């Protein structure tokens, strides 16, 4: 999580969210921060970018055995993307009561109607991750 926080801290223009993808062996496959403002792309969320980069690095879209670590509870788009990418484990920091889709507002990743459900660990270094957001929005 500290690596994801460091990635989030590098953004000065966009909401400071950082995401990393770890391979099955624990090595870092990809890292990304939000790039919506930089690219003008509404799908430029840290999680989606990290998933795209990790898939490109491993050479396939399935990220089985991989872990996504992100500083903020994923939204519906990002939660859907990690399910579709078959990410095995999700670790996130701060809860997002307004748009969170991993238990706060919805629970996309645990929906039994879907064909993949990652293991989830939420609230990791929550206060540090939340502080990034509070500081940004002041």
Question: Where exactly are the structural domains of the chain?
Answer: 1-137
Q: Is 66 annotated as a binding residue?
A: no
pLDDT value for 12: 77
Are 136 and 106 in contact, with CB atoms under 8 Å apart? no
pLDDT score recorded for residue 112: 94
Nearest-angstrom CA–CA distance, 126 and 53: 25
The answer to whether residue 128 is catalytic is no
- Establish whether 45 is an annotated binding residue: yes
Annotation-wise, does 129 bind a ligand? no
Q: Does domain 1-137 have CATH number 3.40.140.10?
A: yes
Catalytic residue (one of 47, 60, 96, 126): 47
How does pLDDT run across 121-130, given as a tens digit for each residue? 999 999 999 9
The pTM (predicted TM-score) of the whole model is 0.96
């Amino acid at each position: 999580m500290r690596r994801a926080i460091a990635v989030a801290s590098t953004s000065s223009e966009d909401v400071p969210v950082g995401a990393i993808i770890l391979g099955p062996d624990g090595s870092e496959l990809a890292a990304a921060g939000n790039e919506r403002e930089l690219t003008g792309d509404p799908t430029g969320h840290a999680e989606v970018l990290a998933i795209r980069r990790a898939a490109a690095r491993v050479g396939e879209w399935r990220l089985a055995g991989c872990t996504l670590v992100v500083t903020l509870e994923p939204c519906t788009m990002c939660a859907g993307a990690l399910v579709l990418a078959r990410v095995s484990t999700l670790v996130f920091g701060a809860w997002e009561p307004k748009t969170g889709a991993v238990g706060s507002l919805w629970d996309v990743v645990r929906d039994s109607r879907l064909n993949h459900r990652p293991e989830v660990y939420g609230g990791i270094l929550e206060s540090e991750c939340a502080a990034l957001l509070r500081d940004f929005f002041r």
